[in-house]
Chains A and B, each alone.
Chain A
Amino acid sequence: MQEWANQLCENRQFGSKMTDSKYFTTTKKGEIFELKAELNSDKKEKKKEAVKKVIASMTVGKDVSALFPDVVNCMQTDNLELKKLVYLYLMNYAKSQPDMAIMAVNTFVKDCEDPNPLIRALAVRTMGCIRVDKITEYLCEPLRKCLKDEDPYVRKTAAVCVAKLHDINAQLVEDQGFLDTLKDLISDSNPMVVANAVAALSEIAESHPNSNLMDLNPQTINKLLTALNECTEWGQIFILDCLANYTPRDDRESQSICERVTPRLSHANSAVVLSAVKVLMKFMEMLPKDLDYYGTLLKKLAPPLVTLLSAEPELQYVALRNINLIVQRRPEILKHEMKVFFVKYNDPIYVKLEKLDIMIRLASQANIAQVLAELKEYATEVDVDFVRKAVRAIGRCAIKVEQSAERCVSTLLDLIQTKVNYVVQEAIVVIKDIFRKYPNKYESVIATLCENLDSLDEPEARAAMIWIVGEYAERIDNADELLESFLEGFHDESTQVQLQLLTAIVKLFLKKPTETQELVQQVLSLATQDSDNPDLRDRGYIYWRLLSTDPVAAKEVVLAEKPLISEETDLIEPTLLEELICHIGTLASVYHKPPSAFVEGSRGVQHKRLPGSTESPDTTSAAAVSDAPPAVIPSQGDLLGDLLNLDLTPPTTTGPPPPASSENNLILPAIGAGFGAPPAAMPASFSAPVSGGLDDLFDLGGGVGMPMGAYSAPKTVWLPAMKAKGLEISGTFARRSGVIQMEMTLTNKAMSVMTDFAIQFNRNSFGLAPAGPLQVLTPLNPNQSIEVTLPLNTVGPVMKMEPLNNLQVAVKNNIDVFYFSCQYPISMLFVEDGKMERQVFLATWKDIPNDNEAQFQIKDCHLNAASNKLQGSNIFTIAKRTVDGQDMLYQSMKLTNGIWVLAEMRVQAGNPVYTVSTAACAYS
């Protein structure tokens, strides 16, 4: 006491407050040493202070795990604060000290029986956070009790604990029947318990996409809607997200759910609002459009969306990304709210860019004047990215709203007069598009454009300018001179400019053949002889061939009338949009990609769709967009991503092998034909409901159990009879339908009957363990053999073995216990979901340090055959491409313990030796 008083006085003297920063003062003896002494002190207060110091060090990332036993010793206390602090420590370090953590189990189990509900809940909650297998075993009984606890606070904590436990050991949770208990909690009397049960189930369902965990029916929906009104804001989010997965039976049910969800639109929490918007946007699809309620609902959706834009900038950003989707699906909701999207100069740049995007989507004849005035204002701002996008936006307005085209062009010309380099370049790029949309209308501006030729230093702008010169060569007197000036530095130009220049000069030649013969020959020889770019070379040869064989045909081909471009090029493809609308408020909606494209471990994310309307489609603009034939070609990355998914399907049904990644869109119809689908419908058929055939294929691909035989080696003798008193064991390993199996033949070479077989594994590198007992039911008579298949799992204890794939086995029978060791093929551990997303693959490949990479060569195999064969062993081909005459095969596989192995296989044409580089990376 005296000491503390002194210290207090000291603190006063120095004018410092009593704060936690004092925990960081160290003495010469060393912090850990000193803390150890204090933790073992008899004085309660000193102990508590010491634990606080430990926690303070932990929060800033210092390693204080060495104090584990000393801290755990403080756990037995009736001081709640001390107990909480020790628990905090335990959660952080138990994993690194599993054996020590066992010491804490008793206290936990005891606390779960405490009369104070706060302590019961605290214990069950903390136990769930200790990710040590041994502890989880002890957790089951207390958890079962807590799930049925009389106090709702304990029940709701226990519900979350089930999700924790599932994350650590899913099998255990299922075996113990916790999932059923959790489902029962949806009917709990307390709304908070319901909300947490829903949250826990949703999280579990995410890692179990095919299980029917959330069995939504009108009764449960009713319970959820009741709980929705009474639970906390966070609970409301979980419940609303869960509701969004339900498909109402008819429009009446749909309307009644909408009515009960609408009040959430006035919630102060923006996440609640957006989740409610999601539910309404989805269920609205089912309402007949002539219903009064439908109109009311549309009106109710606008104000909350506008309100989201007055929140913090981070919230605005997410809201804007979602509004972008909503506006594309139902433009009528926000058509009068243009002004809220006007940019303020101190908005963060990410908000500015998004607002701009939405402004263009909302632009119409009615508001175009306002929009243009704004855009012109933005084009004089400081931020270069924003200015560029604003200029581009003016061009998009011109294309979208025909009546405004003239005004847009004159605005662009004004901007070109500013001579600001990047503004001029952007303006030229968009003017090119305007020319394509309205040919022969604004050519008078070409002269102004030509004045700025010298200031163009970006490839896109140069290419655009060259295109304009080539397209209108007959109206530009010195077109040949202009193009010739570009030709001088041909080799330094980017491919985009080179291609455009080639085409432009050919066009010029076809229009003015007499004066430009020399020029065209020059460019053709540059393209075909001096270039290593295959695209350029090919195009050069095609032109050359065309021009030399049939100039008339050449004219027809090169100067053919081009299809007009339309605004739709920047719209999201309708089926993707439908899916994204179902994911409003999620990460998918922020990235505008389907969740399957980027959420990790999403082996079978089900594609969500909007429910169909109960009446025949009407002719409102929104419906027209979604029903129109998909004229839009989705961006190449997405499409290739989808195509690559096809790898998963069995080769017998796929037909042609998956295509190599190519720069050319021409490949699409070819593949479409291969599937028997009409090429034109190809982009849409990836998720459109009509093409059931393809969907089925995808389902097959997503499923886990593939009917493909993986390679399994012939059996070898593991345990010779002479070493095991007459028992001979030979065996092999195989992976069948996702299950690792140990296949053994047991032969009795002794004189007496053998019974009571049992098997056990020593700790091994990947935690292999028998998933069940050894099934030898009948006694093994002398000279009799029996085939046994033992399924294995990988949840056993882990210890690194030398070599890595060594497995030590003990087999027992009525005679004795025998030991042997064998080696399993590593391919057995490759799991079925080892297919990495292409983007992730690329990023990861770059991230892996060179030390993790190994290279070796294999001989004599064939690329496609190899790919198919590897697939059978869960080695997935991510992409195939040809670089410098070498075929490259990129592959990924995932081990049962979550380590990814990436591989690159390089094949030199005509050389039977393959080079394989593999690299491994681990992540949790």
Chain B
Amino acid sequence: MIHSLFLINHLGDIFLEKHWKSVISRSVCDYFFEAREKAVDPENVPPVLQTPHHYLISIYRGKLFFLSVIQTEVPPLFVIEFLHRVADTFQDYFGECSESVITDNLVIVYELLEEMLDNGFPLATESNVLKEMIRPPNILRSVVNTLTGGSNVGETLPQGQLSNIPWRRAGVKYANNEAYFDVTEEIDAIVDKSGTTVSAEIQGVIEACVKLSGMPDLTMSFMNPRLLDDVSFHPCVRFRRWESERVLSFIPPDGNFTLMTYHISSQNLVAIPVYVKQSINFFEAGSCGRLDITIGPKQTMGKTVEDLKVTIHMPKAVLNANLTATQGNYTYDCTTKMLVWDIGKLNPQKLPNLRGSLSMQTGVPNPEENPSLNIDLKIQQLAISGLKVSRLDMYGEKYKPFKGVKYVTKAGKFQVRT
């Protein structure tokens, strides 16, 4: 099981350590630093490392490494999932997950870690339960606590901890009862230089914000549930009803949670909202290159494409870019070699275009690699897969809640090769 945890910043300083069994010397991290050195980029450090006596399993989140030390055989996914959960909890408690915010709240962090894991076994990881045991910091409470001698540690056993629905606390009360759902779909796609789709899939997620009193029992049904054949649910969803009736039936946790994620991989269901016409050339003579990119709408289902942005990671030899954009602004960072073109709203009548010359380092052979284009975009009020919620019913409580569903489509890892 998980033996120890080290938090390491991007400079390689260990700024927090926690041991759940005996203390393991920091020197164990040296193996990690070695791998870190070798990997050049922090993203490329292998997540599982073997050392003579331990295993090091790490994740990289928000420029921090969460490094756990393992001594016995243990499912690595379990460790990685747990580490992400720790990071999520910090995010939840402090609004962000960074070194400064963690050192500012060291004691709470330490109490949290102790509450989340016992002897390497996860103890309480549900945010609801944790928040009842250790209250999140806020200015007002810390002032009140210092004046009254109160504390930010719950004195009684959280209610939900042992019931059959550990995710919900009892006795929830709201003046306004409301339940909002955000259906967000991200398109992951690779388009090759001729414009053909190499691969395309949709990662969908339904996030919920439910503020309902008592013990509401919700049922959500879809217009076209047949789209969903690859789904993962929050533990609250009753799997059997989904299997037999294709409806989501659940007693929701209180507050924000991810109700379900789904994945649509069958390509004919994935619409590609924009097309890209591009040419990027580097010339042997004259040490320069040309770039010409045009973007136009493809399958947008009649909606407007917003927040359109193109990011290109240029080869090392490209020193500068001298371009003109018909719409939006472009920037070129010559240290990171990132060309970013921020377009904004896509106007189907007047297609945005970016063209001009690239100045190259002289005396260096032409770059072999072709830069890929990364596309960001957003389409409001549309789930590109066509998924639609048809109704949401509530049982078990008498009041009438406000309900709402919002759809949005975004580009995930949307890449155009050149």
Residues of A within 8 A of B (CB): 1, 4-5, 8, 17-21, 23, 44-45, 48, 52, 55-56, 59-61, 79-82, 84-85, 88, 92, 95, 116-118, 125, 128-129, 131, 151-153, 157, 160-161, 163-164, 167, 190, 192, 196, 199-200, 203, 206, 230, 232-234, 237, 241, 263, 266-271, 273-275, 303-304, 306-307, 310, 312-315, 317-319, 337, 339-340, 342, 344-346, 348-350, 370, 373-374, 377, 380-382, 418, 420, 585-588, 590-591, 595, 598-600, 840, 843-844, 847, 923-924
Contact digits for B101-138, partner A, Cβ 8 Å, 1 yes 0 no: 00111111111001000110111011000000000000
Which of chain A's residues have a CB closer than 8 A to the CB of B347? none
* Stretch of B18-26, B274-282, B385-393, B398-406 contacting A (4+ beta carbons < 8 Å): B18-26
Q: Are A79 and B104 in contact (CB under 8 A)?
A: no
* Stretch of B142-150, B294-302, B320-328, B354-362 contacting A (4+ beta carbons < 8 Å): B142-150
State whether A196 and B121 are in contact (beta carbons under 8 Å apart), knowing that A152-B162, A314-B47, A318-B47 are contacts in the complex.
Answer: yes
Q: Are B107 and A55 in contact (CB under 8 A)?
A: yes
Q: Choose among A79, A88, A268, A844 the residue that contacts B114 (Cβ–Cβ < 8 A).
A: A88
Q: Which 6 A-B pairs have the closest CB atoms?
A: A303-B230, A19-B104, A81-B151, A81-B153, A314-B47, A271-B77
Q: Are B239 and A153 in contact (CB under 8 A)?
A: no
Interface members, chain B 170-199 (any A CB < 8 Å)? 188, 190, 192, 198-199
A578 CB to closest chain B CB (Å) equals 18
Tell whether B245 is near chain A: CB-to-CB under 8 Å: no
Which of chain A's residues have a CB closer than 8 A to the CB of B106? 20-21, 23, 55-56, 59-60
A367 CB to closest chain B CB (Å) equals 12
30 chain-A/chain-B pairs, Cβ below 8 angstroms = A4-B146, A19-B104, A20-B103, A20-B106, A20-B108, A59-B18, A92-B23, A116-B156, A129-B21, A157-B118, A199-B121, A200-B121, A206-B72, A206-B73, A263-B240, A267-B233, A268-B258, A270-B77, A271-B77, A310-B188, A349-B44, A585-B77, A587-B73, A587-B74, A590-B76, A591-B50, A595-B73, A600-B53, A600-B71, A840-B52
Q: Are B107 and A586 in contact (CB under 8 A)?
A: no
Q: Are B143 and A234 in contact (CB under 8 A)?
A: no
Interface members, chain B 256-292 (any A CB < 8 Å)? 258, 261, 263, 265, 267
Interface members, chain B 1-56 (any A CB < 8 Å)? 1, 14-24, 26, 39, 43-44, 46-48, 50-53, 55
State whether A84 and B263 are in contact (beta carbons under 8 Å apart), knowing that A55-B107, A266-B233, A586-B75 are contacts in the complex.
Answer: no
Q: Are B234 and A20 in contact (CB under 8 A)?
A: no
A554 CB to closest chain B CB (Å) equals 46
Q: Choose among B55, B60, B109, B121 the residue that contacts A234 (Cβ–Cβ < 8 A).
A: B121
Q: Choose among A157, A160, A271 the residue that contacts B78 (Cβ–Cβ < 8 A).
A: A271
Task: Give the CA-CA distance A270 to B108 in the complex, in Å.
Answer: 28
Which of chain A's residues have a CB closer than 8 A to the CB of B313? 345
Q: Choose among B71, B107, B230, B233 the residue that contacts A85 (Cβ–Cβ < 8 A).
A: B107
Can you add 15 more A-B contacts, CB < 8 Å, to A59-B18, A275-B75? A60-B16, A129-B119, A230-B164, A232-B126, A266-B233, A266-B239, A266-B242, A270-B80, A270-B81, A307-B261, A314-B47, A315-B80, A315-B81, A339-B265, A598-B50
Task: Give the CA-CA distance A310 to B413 in the complex, in Å.
Answer: 10
The residue on B at minimum CB distance from A303 is B230
Q: Are A271 and B75 in contact (CB under 8 A)?
A: yes
B171 CB to closest chain A CB (Å) equals 18
Q: Are A599 and B155 in contact (CB under 8 A)?
A: no
The residue on B at minimum CB distance from A206 is B72
The residue on A at minimum CB distance from B167 is A232
Name the prevailing secondary structure of the B interface residues.
mixed
Which of chain A's residues have a CB closer than 8 A to the CB of B104? 17, 19-21
Task: Give the CA-CA distance A350 to B103 in the complex, in Å.
Answer: 31
Which of chain A's residues have a CB closer than 8 A to the CB of B149? 44-45
The residue on B at minimum CB distance from A157 is B118
Which of chain B's residues have a CB closer than 8 A to the CB of A598? 50
Task: Give the CA-CA distance A721 to B191 in the complex, in Å.
Answer: 95
A749 CB to closest chain B CB (Å) equals 50
Task: Give the CA-CA distance A597 to B173 in the complex, in Å.
Answer: 56
Which of chain B's residues have a CB closer than 8 A to the CB of A269? 81
Task: Give the CA-CA distance A370 to B267 in the complex, in Å.
Answer: 15
Q: Are A303 and B76 in contact (CB under 8 A)?
A: no
Residues of B within 8 A of A (CB): 1, 14-24, 26, 39, 43-44, 46-48, 50-53, 55, 58-60, 70-78, 80-82, 84, 103-111, 114, 118-119, 121-123, 125-126, 139, 142-143, 146-147, 149, 151-157, 161-162, 164, 166, 188, 190, 192, 198-199, 201, 203, 229-235, 239-240, 242-243, 258, 261, 263, 265, 267, 313, 315, 368-370, 372, 374, 413, 415, 417
Task: Give the CA-CA distance A274 to B17 in the complex, in Å.
Answer: 29
Which of chain A's residues have a CB closer than 8 A to the CB of B315? 382
The residue on B at minimum CB distance from A152 is B162
B306 CB to closest chain A CB (Å) equals 23
A725 CB to closest chain B CB (Å) equals 47
Q: Are B73 and A60 in contact (CB under 8 A)?
A: no
Task: Give the CA-CA distance A5 to B1 in the complex, in Å.
Answer: 45
State whether A153 and B157 are in contact (beta carbons under 8 Å apart), knowing that A346-B413, A377-B417 are contacts in the complex.
Answer: yes
The residue on B at minimum CB distance from A263 is B239
Q: Are A131 and B370 in contact (CB under 8 A)?
A: no
The residue on A at minimum CB distance from B78 is A271
In the complex, which of the residues B17, B21, B58, B60 has the most CB atoms of chain A within 10 Å of its own CB atom? B21
State whether A342 and B162 are in contact (beta carbons under 8 Å apart), knowing that A8-B143, A85-B107, A271-B78 are contacts in the complex.
Answer: no
Q: Are A59 and B75 in contact (CB under 8 A)?
A: no
Which of chain B's residues have a CB closer than 8 A to the CB of A303? 229-230, 263
Which of chain B's residues have a CB closer than 8 A to the CB of A373? 192, 198
Task: Give the CA-CA distance A200 to B17 in the complex, in Å.
Answer: 24
Which of chain A's residues have a CB closer than 8 A to the CB of B154? 80
Task: Give the CA-CA distance A599 to B72 in the complex, in Å.
Answer: 7
Task: Give the CA-CA distance A323 to B24 in the complex, in Å.
Answer: 33
Q: Are A52 and B107 in contact (CB under 8 A)?
A: yes
Q: Choose among A125, A348, A585 the residue that contacts B118 (Cβ–Cβ < 8 A).
A: A125
Task: Give the CA-CA distance A151 to B143 in the complex, in Å.
Answer: 35
In the complex, which of the residues B46, B73, B147, B149 has the most CB atoms of chain A within 10 Å of its own CB atom? B73
The residue on A at minimum CB distance from B51 is A843
Which of chain B's residues have a CB closer than 8 A to the CB of A339? 198-199, 201, 265, 267
Q: Are A18 and B139 in contact (CB under 8 A)?
A: yes
Q: Choose among A60, A161, A340, A843 the residue that contacts B265 (Cβ–Cβ < 8 A).
A: A340
Q: Are A590 and B231 in contact (CB under 8 A)?
A: no
The residue on B at minimum CB distance from A836 is B52
Which of chain A's residues have a CB closer than 8 A to the CB of B21? 129, 131, 164, 167
Q: Are A586 and B74 in contact (CB under 8 A)?
A: yes
Task: Give the CA-CA distance A167 to B1 in the complex, in Å.
Answer: 12
Which of chain B's residues have a CB closer than 8 A to the CB of A350? 44, 46-47
Q: Are B75 and A344 in contact (CB under 8 A)?
A: no
Q: Are B230 and A307 in contact (CB under 8 A)?
A: yes
Q: Are B16 and A59 in contact (CB under 8 A)?
A: yes
B190 CB to closest chain A CB (Å) equals 6
State whether A344 and B84 are in contact (beta carbons under 8 Å apart), knowing that A59-B18, A81-B151 are contacts in the complex.
Answer: no
Task: Give the CA-CA distance A822 to B93 in the complex, in Å.
Answer: 62
Q: Are A61 and B26 in contact (CB under 8 A)?
A: yes
Q: Choose among A48, A163, A234, A344 the residue that contacts B122 (Cβ–Cβ < 8 A).
A: A234
A683 CB to closest chain B CB (Å) equals 25
Q: Choose among A56, A157, A587 the residue that contacts B55 (Cβ–Cβ < 8 A).
A: A587
The residue on B at minimum CB distance from A319 is B77
Q: Choose among A61, A163, A196, A271 the residue that contacts B14 (Cβ–Cβ < 8 A).
A: A61
The residue on A at minimum CB distance from B87 is A312
Q: Are A418 and B368 in contact (CB under 8 A)?
A: yes
Which of chain A's residues have a CB closer than 8 A to the CB of B58? 314
State whether A317 and B55 are in contact (beta carbons under 8 Å apart), knowing that A206-B73, A345-B415 are contacts in the complex.
Answer: no
Task: Give the CA-CA distance A897 to B76 in the complex, in Å.
Answer: 29
Q: Are A314 and B155 in contact (CB under 8 A)?
A: no
B60 CB to closest chain A CB (Å) equals 8
Which of chain A's residues have a CB closer than 8 A to the CB of B77? 270-271, 274, 315, 318-319, 585
The residue on B at minimum CB distance from A120 is B157
